[in-house]
Amino acid sequence: MARLAVENLKKSFGAVDVIRGVSLAAESGEFVVFVGPSGCGKSTLLRLVAGLETADSGGISIGGRDVTTADPAKRGIAMVFQTYALYPHMSVADNMAFGLEMAGVAKAERERLVREAADLLHLTDYLDRKPRQLSGGQRQRVAIGRAIVRKPDIFLFDEPLSNLDAELRVKMRLEIARLHRELGATMVYVTHDQVEAMTLADRIVVLRSGLVEQIGSPMQLYSDPDNSFVAGFIGSPRMNFVQAEVTGLWDGKLLLNVPDFGLTDLAVRPRAMPAKRPVSLSLGVRPEHLAEGVAGSHRVSLRCNAVERLGAVTYLHTAPGDDNTVTAQLTGSSSARPGDSVEVALASEQCFLFDAAGARV
Amino acid sequence: MKRSATINALMVACGAFFITLVGLPFWWVVSGSVKVPQEIIARSPTMFPHSFTLQHYNKLFDASAYPVYLANSLIVAVSSTALTLALAIPAAFAFFRLDFPGRGALYRTILLAYAFPSIVVLIPLFGLFAKIGLVDRLPALVIVNAAFALPFSIWMLRSFFAGVPKEIEEAAVMDGAPTMTILRRIMIPLVAPGIASVGIYAFVSAWTEYVFASVLILSDAKRTLPVGFSGIIGQYQIDWGLLLAGATVAIIPVVAIFALIGRGFVSGLTEGAVK
């Protein structure tokens, strides 16, 4: 395991700036997840760390060693690809041993290391099989095994679970978490799935358009987002944003009129009181904090236009498909139907405020 | 998907027509080679041999230079195929993988060379080979055959290389494999169907090449089958039985190579690699 540090990294493809000055660090043994929408540059950032792309400027160091221009194989990293990228003509054992062979490890030692990794990944019975004879989950385990045998300082995962079905994804997610605990290695993981990010990460790096939006622990991002992008991206279903007019100040809080919720003088504490009182703001509230059957300081009546029943909970949507739709979390046994008016509770201390540019207020 | 009976019947009829079109001459040659001479030249031709004889084959192998031509042709075709593959595989990989100045222009130039009719370069090549002492030697044919097979082979192999998912190569890079090891251990096994196709193409073109073989080879003992065999036919009379037996034997290596490396045509070789 080793510390990964990225300093003001920049990369463009032609006229397109994909990475526009990213700095971050993954501490030794830490599980860091890069998350963001498609095209945000997260995969490119990982490929830069891997050495599969060359940075235009900036630096990358692993374990204190500058590897910005080092060969991928000399960086002490191993990568697991989204598409597994197994060698189809080689057996599972050969797939896992290939990197060791290239590193000049003796045959007996290679076999021992492969067997060790296969045990860890429950692949022992499949060592003689070809990749095409394996299921998707097994293939991905082989790809992980190929990374493990090399005992890298840092593991890189590029959306490793996105080709698997939902059930297998949950299983593999737990397995990767277990591997991280057992190996204690530094892991950098790219995903667009915020559930994977929340469940696996020690720290999440939220990226947008080639820039870091926020870095923090999953709960930090969830409960204290820096801007509306992070607030909307972390948490599922996504946070509701509604327009609010600022009417006054009271006890360190801003008083707001929220027409969409039919609320007046809703008192919300800003992160830091702005020097100049804003006229209008965007009020962010998560569906689970706009909920039925929980305590809340305010009652909000919502028009139900669509209902999603998930069993344990039910989600109400006021304008499904619309960007301004409001989603509220109802109880699993809720009898709400489209057309109904449903009353939910809103806790003002769970509300966030954002300015017109999306920055947290 | 269910097809109607009419379409099925139509497709069977179409298939039968083309099989007959391609297969009938072959059948005619093979079946004719075992007929007695009288039956071959009989006024009403027989579809199925009424007689059976191996006299044409005996004559072919015992009383003609056919075995020499056959051996020459095999040497030339196998060597041409080997040379073509030995040059086309690294060249195609270089055009696909390496980024060097003038890559696009050079690639197009190679394809342009393919557009030249062989007859245009025949005389200059003869002069060139005469200067370096290659006239009337089999290596001259090997060089010419490989040179003419290369543009298409490179073009075809390059697209096979391009069909290998990028991640597999990147995984090998991450595993620390040098470029030539990636080519040898990863890429070549994965483009085996392409190599098989190119091999068959190079073999068949060398096997059937006539123009250069007739000009660059002067002595009878060095002739290849197409040229040597045309001499067997005779200027004033045609020994049909000998001709048909010779043609039948000439087909065998081509059929054999299809059977042997045609297996490489199997698709789905990269199955299980990605996804």
Which residues in chain A are closer than 8 Å to B185, comparing Cβ atoms? 98
- Nearest partner of A133 among A142, A120, A146, A121, judged by Cα: A142
The minimum CA-CA distance between A51 and chain B, rounded to whole Å, is 8
pLDDT of residue B273: 57
Contact (CB<8Å) A85/B181: no
Q: Which residues pair with A142 in a beta bridge?
A: none
With an 8 Å Cβ cutoff, is A78 touching chain B?
yes
State whether B190 and A77 contact (CB < 8 Å): no
The whole model's pTM is what?
0.83
- Please give the pLDDT value at position A236: 87
Please report the pLDDT score of residue B272 as a whole number: 54
User: Is the separation of the CB atoms in B250 and B243 below 8 Å?
Assistant: no
For residues A294 and B67, the model is more confident at B67
Nearest CA to CA, how far is A47 from chain B (Å)? Answer: 10
A335: nearest Cα among A304, A360, A359, A300:
A304
Return d(Cα B126, Cα B121) in angstroms, integer.
8
pLDDT tens for chain B, residues 1 to 275: 567 889 999 999 999 999 999 999 999 999 999 999 888 888 888 888 888 999 999 998 988 889 999 999 999 999 999 999 999 999 999 999 888 899 989 988 888 877 778 788 889 999 999 999 999 999 999 999 999 999 999 999 999 999 999 999 999 999 999 999 999 999 999 998 889 889 999 999 999 999 999 999 999 999 999 998 888 776 677 888 888 999 999 999 888 888 877 665 555 455 555 55
Which ipTM did the prediction report?
Answer: 0.83
On chain B, the residues whose CB falls within 8 A of the CB of A85 are: 165, 167-168, 170-171, 273-274
pLDDT reported for residue A186? 95
Q: Give every CB contact of residue B247 below 8 A, 6+ residues apart in sequence.
A: B29, B33
Which residues, at least 6 apart from B239, have a Cβ–Cβ distance to it below 8 Å?
A: B56, B59, B232, B233
Report the gap between the CA of A241 and the closest CA in chain B (Å): 38
Residues A244 and A257: beta-carbon distance below 8 Å: yes
Cis peptide before B124 (omega within 30 of 0): no
Q: At what angle do helices B240-261 and B55-62 cross, to 10 degrees?
A: 80
What mean pLDDT is reported for chain A?
92
Residue of B nearest to A163 (CA): B275
Strand boundaries in B45-170, DSSP class E:
none
Which pLDDT score is estimated for A147? 92
Q: Which residues in chain A are closer than 8 Å to B172, comparing Cβ atoms?
A: 87, 98
Q: Is B270 on the interface with A (CB under 8 A)?
A: yes
Rg of chain A in Å (alpha carbons): 24
Give the CA-trace dihedral at B10, B11, B17, B21, to 10 degrees: 160
Cα(B244)–Cα(A222) distance, integer angstroms: 84
Q: What is the pLDDT of residues A179-201, one digit of tens each?
A: 999 989 999 999 988 889 999 99
In the prediction, which pLDDT does A321 show?
Answer: 80
Measure the CA–CA gap between B225 and B71, rounded to whole angstroms. Answer: 9
Predicted confidence (pLDDT) per residue in A221-249, tens digit: 999 999 999 999 999 899 999 999 999 99
